[in-house]
Structure 1
Amino acid sequence: MSSFSFGRFYETWFDHLHHLLRQLSSSHRPPRTEEEKDKLLLLIDKMMSHYEDYYRTKGVAAERDPLQVLASPWASTLERALHWIAGWRPTTAFHLVYTESSLLFESHIIDILRGVRTGDLGDLSPSQFRRVSQLQCDTVKEENAITEELSEWQDSASELIDAGADIEEKIGRLVSIIRKADDLRLRTIKSVVGLLTPQQAVEFLIASAELLSGIRGWGINHDRPRISR
């Protein structure tokens, strides 16, 4: 897959993300019937399949041209400024959970003090908090290990211009690093969703999609004046 074709895929992928976001936002929360719960689960599956499709396609692009994927010319300058190895930092997912949980908790504080359960992200159980915290610690360790691996690859940059260097082997290592980063991103979002109830998972996925879309939209608007000069 050429960088140009992945760029087109990226645009199409975001268009469909907006479509799924509208579906998630219009869903009934909390679900009042088993049918509504099944619809939430179906929407969650659709969103997770959408993410899986993205990383599968990106993996093919990285295999063909890892340097181009790392540079990510199809992304806005704001997106690239926030990138960690050609994508969002996995631990961002936990900051999102904590932020959404705090905001919803504050908005429902009166109900919570009265013993009314809201069932949303502001109503995470102690067990859920413990599991999210442990997952965050594990993710930080993996994130740091991959960052160190990329740092070592960058430190060996002088070898890339060595006439006797195995360039293919060096580039192959970069492909592996990008794949590890993307695998951690996908596993993290799957693991977070797995710790949540269907209602909470939908709220997390809405917040995630809104963050991605918001950053991309702001970045495109920021780049537009510079492009038109």
Structure 2
Amino acid sequence: MSSFTSFYETWFEQLHHLVHQLSTCPRPPTTPDHHHQLLHVVQKVMAHYAEYYRVKSLAAERDALSVFVAPWATTLELSLHWIGGWRPTTAFHLVYSESSIHFEAHIVDILRGYRTGDLGDLTPSQFRRVSDLQCETVKEENAISDELSEWQDRACELMGECINLETNMGLLVSVLKKADELRLKTLRKVVELLTPQQAVEFLIAAAELQFGVRGWGLNQDRRRRNV
């Protein structure tokens, strides 16, 4: 698991560089080249997330319990985890909050009929699609949570009978993979229903939230160790 922890640290550092690229993209795009640039960087970021989940899936096959407890995460991050990572429906809360922030920042322009093209300028159709996707994701989250509960019940029974838990690890691996697949699928679908400019803003906000939680968690863990 130390190998995956090393991978995660490198991956996380690379995410910082990709977010810098997102932040320097021209917004709003005023030329076809600008539009292409936005799409290219968004695709790079999505490929970066896909690589994370690909490597994590391989790590889960080798050591499911370690992936479940996520030793690379801070105490704060662990307190927010759902089955080894962020809860997929967090993406929708982020869309709504960022949309509200952007709307308030440009409310005068919007009331005058100007289109900003940012997350504060989501169309009724986009809001409807976000809402529908959120409902679907909640159902899938609940189904995976139920599978984890079944695994936990079965694990307790096996412990009571002093049977080797390794025989039951396959189900845990399956649950972990399904949770990560839902995280990546949700991220992809949210990005797909946004314009390139909105997708850039969403990915920046998502990464900054991740950076902020991890940074605060690292500081808190350091203070705790020094007490």
Correspondence list, 1:142-157, <5 A: 142-157=140-155
Partner of residue 195, structure 2: 197
Q: Output the amino acid matched with 1:220.
A: L
Structure 2 gap ranges (5+): none
1:144-202 deviations in Å (ceiling 9; x for gaps): 01011101111222233255857444100000000000000000000000000000000
Partner residue of 1:117? 115
1:38-92 C-alpha deviation (Å, 9 max, x unpaired): 1110100100000001000000110000100111111100010100000000000
Partner of 1:25: 23
Q: How does 1:1-229 map to 2 (within 5 A)?
A: 3-161=1-159, 165=163, 167-229=165-227
Q: Distance in 2 between matches of 1:160 and 1:48?
A: 40
In the alignment, is the contact (CA less than 8 A) between 2:155 and 2:168 conserved in 1? no
Q: Distance in 2 between matches of 1:206 and 1:164?
A: 48
1-structure distance, mates of 2:224, 2:165 = 36
- For 1:115 and 1:168, the matched residues in 2 are separated by 62
The one-character-per-residue Cα deviations of 1:187-228 (angstroms, maximum 9, x if unpaired) are: 000000000000000000000000111111110011012234
Q: What's the offset of the Cα at 1:32?
A: 1.0
Equivalent pairs counted in the alignment come to: 227
Identical amino acids, percent of aligned pairs: 64
Kept in 1: contact 2:19–2:207 (CA 8 A): yes
What secondary structure sits across from 1:32 in the alignment?
Answer: coil
C-alpha separation in 2, matches of 1:143 and 1:85? 10
Moved over 3 A (4+): 162-169
1:228 and 1:143 map into 2 onto residues whose CA distance is 38
Tell me which amino acid in the other structure corresponds to 2:25: S
SS at match of 2:30: coil
Counterpart code for 1:68: S
* Counterpart-to-counterpart distance in 1, 2:37 and 2:158: 52
Deviates more, 1:188-197 or 1:217-226: 217-226
> Would you say the 8 A contact 2:81–2:87 is kept in 1?
yes
Partners of 1:162 and 1:171 in 2: how far apart?
16
Aligned to 2:6, the other structure's residue is in SS state helix
Query: Counterparts of 2:120 and 2:167 in 1: how far apart (Å)?
Result: 48
Cα separation, 2, equivalents of 1:168 and 1:7: 23
In structure 1, how many angstroms separate the alpha carbons of the residues matched to 2:168 and 2:155?
9
Residue 77 of structure 2 aligns with an amino acid whose one-letter code is: E
| In 2, Cα distance between equivalents of 1:28 and 1:204 | 15
- TM-score with structure 1 length normalisation? 0.96
In structure 1, C-alpha distance between the alignment counterparts of 2:153 and 2:160, rounded to whole Å: 14
Alpha-carbon separation, structure 2, partners of 1:170 and 1:102: 45
Distance in 1 of aligned mates of 2:215 and 2:166: 37
The runs of 5 or more residues in structure 1 that have no matched partner are none
Give the Cα separation in 1 of the matches to 2:162 and 2:71.
31
Could you list the per-position Cα deviations for residues 108-154 of structure 1 after superposition, in whole angstroms to 9, with x for gaps in the alignment? Answer: 11111100000000000000000000000000000001011101111
